Structure 1
Amino acid sequence: MSKPLILVTNDDGIVSNGIRVLAEVMSEIGEVIVVAPDSPQSGMGHAITIGEPLRLIPSDLFDDLGIKAFKCSGTPADCVKLAKHHVLKEKNPDLVVSGINHGSNLAVSVLYSGTMSAAIEGAIEGYPSIGYSLADFSHDADFSHTRDYVKKIAQEVLSKGLAKGVALNVNFPPKQNQRIQGIKICRQAKAHWEEEFDHRKDPYGRPYFWLAGNFVNNDKGEDTDVWAVDHNYVAVVPCQYDMTAHHSIAQINDDWDI
């Protein structure tokens, strides 16, 4: 049997450690193509490039793995679109994987995440898709404990499939002395960022702002992604791009004078 075709992308850029680990693991189970941003795109959400040209340039960064790779001047969502329409052309990937992100994408962060937006774009295109993130923002983060779980989850999706329009948001706890306790299928925690803007001045005296803030989690449920990662589990949240609040439709129709 032919190997599954796996598209690998990310939002930290093609030179990041996380995408290297992801490509290595995926090469153990399938034929891999890498299409990733040429520079960091964290926090870009589902942005796409419409007002300027996109550039797609071959990269030799994965030649030692026998993997064909391209760096893209656009966003993570752009990378998936270009992969579909230009790189893969007549072929459809059996799986789209994004990451491994340097830093978690828990709770509401999924809305801002370029990592997850690439996975969601894959789901929009009709491909089983997974976004992987590690709760460690350091440049030299240790991904070694994620490898077996990255592979296992990908193999499960390849074998069993996903519901149409669903992408998995997978978050790993940071490397610790304690071993990972296992995998939990979770819901997204009802947590958010309380933002602050640090008001500063540049050397010329001109004002600028730097986004800061604290992550606030008042959700005490033990079935959330935040709880799972805090307790050293791998958190898996099924996500969808249909953002309709279905439960509100009847209420609005009943209450509004329309």
Structure 2
Amino acid sequence: MKKTVLAMAVAGAAMASPAWALNVLISNDDGLTSNVKALYDGLKGAGHNVVVSVPCSPQSGRSAGIVMYSSTTINADNDAQITKENGCHNGAAPIGAPAAGAFTKDGYTGGDWHYVHGTPVMATLYGLDILAKQRFGGVPDVVLSGPNEGQNIGSLIVNSGTIGNVQMAAIRGIPAIALSADSNTVDDSQLANPNSKIVAGLTVKLLASLVAQKGSGPLLAKGVALNVNFPKAIAGDTGFAFSRVGTYNAYELGFRVANGVYSMGAVVNTAKPNATQTEDESVIVASKVAVSAMQFGYEHRPAAQEWLRLRLQTLKGQ
């Protein structure tokens, strides 16, 4: 029932443009990509006000890290990826440009596109503390993080820079949505992967649905952020479904040692989900756009807090 209601709401909202234009901040953990370009184009086409602030270089797996790799101008001392492209990813800005600023790449110099030579969260903070205040006169209506070039599902989301951006925004009380697509959306040479455009269109649909149902309140309920994952086989009419982060993981990360080389490895889960895991992200995303609610930070529910309060009674006064 939950899946049906969500799918109907999204489909209905897609038939009309947003009731009012949103002030949107886009960030990600990949830098300038086909996905972020398509999302920007889709949002602008739907009438939203958009500003982009992304990392200078790809920063997957940086979670909530708060690091600037350059403090004055872009250099490769702390970021070997800069050397590979002689500057930011896909030519957004060259070595020697300011450590944070506007794109210099042709076609991206209209004032909407910005980078930070740091971790994803630093790009989000630049967007919130500098760009949004300049553009919107305050905080954005929503922060969109992504779309990532690979799904962020299950327990590994704690490692995700895409999720880290959303957590930072949510901690400040700003509605935030993490967007993650399959790796088949990568297209760094032309920035025109057709799957990116489909993901962007579905994202605009989801936003339209949220706007249509929000009434006079914020886009999302207080303390709630969303984790949205798009399936590999994506189409314009792919349905949306309620999901939860859950306990079923499509794959798990681990430390790997092979022939004297140390690395991170991923182990694919070959076990089938049990009866209580059918709404978990890793299951739903096989065929639907999985939409999960997340809390921000690590605060636990009141029941667990009371459990801890009782356990600490014997330590009072010590």
TM superposition score category, shorter chain reference: 0.7 to 0.9
1:241 aligns with 2:296: yes
Choose between structure 1 and 2 for higher RCO, CA contacts under 8 A separated by at least 6 residues: 2
Q: CA deviation at 1:63?
A: 3.9
Partner in structure 1 of residue 244 of structure 2: 187
Partner in structure 2 of residue 22 of structure 1: 39
Partner in structure 2 of residue 204 of structure 1: none
Q: Which of 92, 105, 109 matches 2:156? A: 109
Q: CA deviation at 1:67?
A: 5.6
Q: CA deviation at 1:106?
A: 0.3
TM-score using structure 1 length: 0.84
Whole-Å separation in 2 of the counterparts to 1:194 and 1:2: 42
Q: CA deviation at 1:49?
A: 2.3
Structure 2 residue identity aligned to 1:119: V
Of Structure 1 and Structure 2, the greater helix share is in 2
Of the structure 1 ranges 242-251 and 102-111, higher mean CA displacement relative to structure 2 is found in: 242-251
Whole-Å separation in 1 of the counterparts to 2:106 and 2:172: 26
Residues 1:127 and 1:5: Cα distance change in structure 2 (over 3 Å): same
**1:19-59, Cα deviation, whole Å (9 max, x unpaired):** 11111111123011011000011000011127973721211
**1:153-187, Cα deviation, whole Å (9 max, x unpaired):** 122334422111221100000136x8755111111
Whole-Å separation in 1 of the counterparts to 2:293 and 2:71: 33
TM-score using structure 2 length: 0.70
Whole-Å separation in 2 of the counterparts to 1:6 and 1:153: 14
User: How do 1:128-207 residues align onto structure 2 when only pairs under 5 Å count?
Assistant: 128-136=175-183, 139-140=186-187, 142-159=195-212, 160=214, 161-175=219-233, 181-192=238-249, 193=252, 195-201=254-260
Q: Answer whether contact 1:169 1:236 (CA < 8 A) is retained.
A: yes
**1:34-90, Cα deviation, whole Å (9 max, x unpaired):** 110000110000111279737212114584695611110112211121112212223
Between Structure 1 and Structure 2, how many residues are aligned?
Answer: 249
Whole-Å separation in 1 of the counterparts to 2:58 and 2:236: 30
Residues 1:213 and 1:122: Cα distance change in structure 2 (over 3 Å): same
Residues 1:95 and 1:245: Cα distance change in structure 2 (over 3 Å): closer
Residues 1:253 and 1:224: Cα distance change in structure 2 (over 3 Å): same
Q: Answer whether contact 2:69 2:118 (CA < 8 A) is retained.
A: no
Larger radius of gyration: 2
Partner in structure 2 of residue 68 of structure 1: 112
For structure 1, list consecutive stretches of 5 or more residues without a partner in the other structure.
202-207
**1:119-170, Cα deviation, whole Å (9 max, x unpaired):** 2222122221111111226633632432332111122334422111221100
In structure 2, the residue corresponding to 1:191 is in which secondary structure? coil
Partner in structure 1 of residue 174 of structure 2: 127
Q: Answer whether contact 1:77 1:121 (CA < 8 A) is retained.
A: yes
Whole-Å separation in 2 of the counterparts to 1:226 and 1:158: 27
**1:191-214, Cα deviation, whole Å (9 max, x unpaired):** 35152413344xxxxxx4111131
Partner in structure 2 of residue 205 of structure 1: none
Of the structure 1 ranges 40-49 and 188-197, higher mean CA displacement relative to structure 2 is found in: 188-197
Residues 1:110 and 1:82: Cα distance change in structure 2 (over 3 Å): same
In structure 1, the residue corresponding to 2:246 is in which secondary structure? coil
Structure 2 residue identity aligned to 1:182: G
Whole-Å separation in 1 of the counterparts to 2:196 and 2:57: 21
Q: Answer whether contact 1:194 1:215 (CA < 8 A) is retained.
A: no
Q: What is the CA RMSD across the aligned residues, in angstroms?
A: 2.7
Residues 1:84 and 1:62: Cα distance change in structure 2 (over 3 Å): farther
Structure 2 residue identity aligned to 1:244: E
Whole-Å separation in 1 of the counterparts to 2:127 and 2:253: 36
Partner in structure 1 of residue 77 of structure 2: none
Q: CA deviation at 1:234?
A: 0.4
Of the structure 1 ranges 118-127 and 138-147, higher mean CA displacement relative to structure 2 is found in: 138-147
Partner in structure 1 of residue 145 of structure 2: 98
Residues 1:137 and 1:111: Cα distance change in structure 2 (over 3 Å): farther
